[in-house]
Amino acid sequence: SSNEAPPNCARHVAVIGGGLVGSLQACFLAEKGFEVELFEAKEDIRTRKYASGRSINLGLSHRGREALKLVGLEDEVIRNGAVPMHGRMIHSLSGKTSAQAYGKKGQNVLSMDRRRLNETLLTAAESYPNVKTHFRHKLVQAELDKGTIVILDRNTDREFTLRPDLIVGCDGVNSAMRAALFEYGLINYSQEYLTHGYMELHIPAKDGKFAMEANYLHVWPREPFTMIATPNPDGTFNCALFLPLEEFADIKIRGRQVCLEFFREHFPDAVTLIGEQELTESFIANRACKLMSIKCSPYHYKDKAVIIGDAAHAMVPFYGQGMNCGFEDCIVFSEALDKFDGDLAKVLPAFSEYRSPDAQAMCDLNLYNFKEMRSLVNSRWFLFRKYLDWFLQWLFPKRHIPLYTMVTFSRIRYGEVVRRWKRQTKIVNWTLFGMACLSVVVTGIFIRRFVNLE
Residues that bind ligand FAD (CB under 6 A): 16-22, 39-42, 56, 58-59, 138-139, 170-172, 176, 198, 240, 309-311, 317, 320-324, 326
Nearest to ligand FAD of 24, 392 (CB atom)? 24
Nearest to ligand FAD of 39, 333 (CB atom)? 39
* AA letter at 92: S
Q: How near is the Cβ of 230 to ligand FAD at its closest, in Å?
A: 7
Q: Which of 4, 71, 2, 1 is nearest to 340 (CA)?
A: 4
C-beta atoms surrounding 286 within 10 Å: 16
Nearest to ligand FAD of 282, 324 (CB atom)? 324
Q: How near is the Cβ of 8 to ligand FAD at its closest, in Å?
A: 25
Q: How near is the Cβ of 10 to ligand FAD at its closest, in Å?
A: 23
Nearest to ligand FAD of 164, 317 (CB atom)? 317
* 65: enclosing H helix or E strand: helix 62-70
Nearest to ligand FAD of 274, 330 (CB atom)? 330
Q: How far apart are CA 70 and CA 432, in angstroms?
A: 43
Q: How near is the Cβ of 263 to ligand FAD at its closest, in Å?
A: 19
Nearest to ligand FAD of 318, 340 (CB atom)? 318
What is the DSSP secondary structure assignment for residue 41, as one 8-state letter?
S
Q: How near is the Cβ of 269 to ligand FAD at its closest, in Å?
A: 22
Beta strands in 254-401 (DSSP E): 289-297, 300-301, 305-307
Q: How far apart are CA 107 and CA 215, in angstroms?
A: 12
Q: How many CA atoms within 13 Å lie on the side-chain side of 181?
A: 29
* AA letter at 105: K
Q: How near is the Cβ of 356 to ligand FAD at its closest, in Å?
A: 15
**Which residue is closest to ligand FAD by CB?**
19
Cβ-Cβ contacts under 8 Å for 36 (sequence gap 6 or more): 13, 15, 26, 29, 30, 125, 128, 130, 131, 132
Q: How near is the Cβ of 161 to ligand FAD at its closest, in Å?
A: 14
Nearest to ligand FAD of 18, 147 (CB atom)? 18
Helix then strand then coil, % of the chain, to nearest 5 = 45, 25, 30
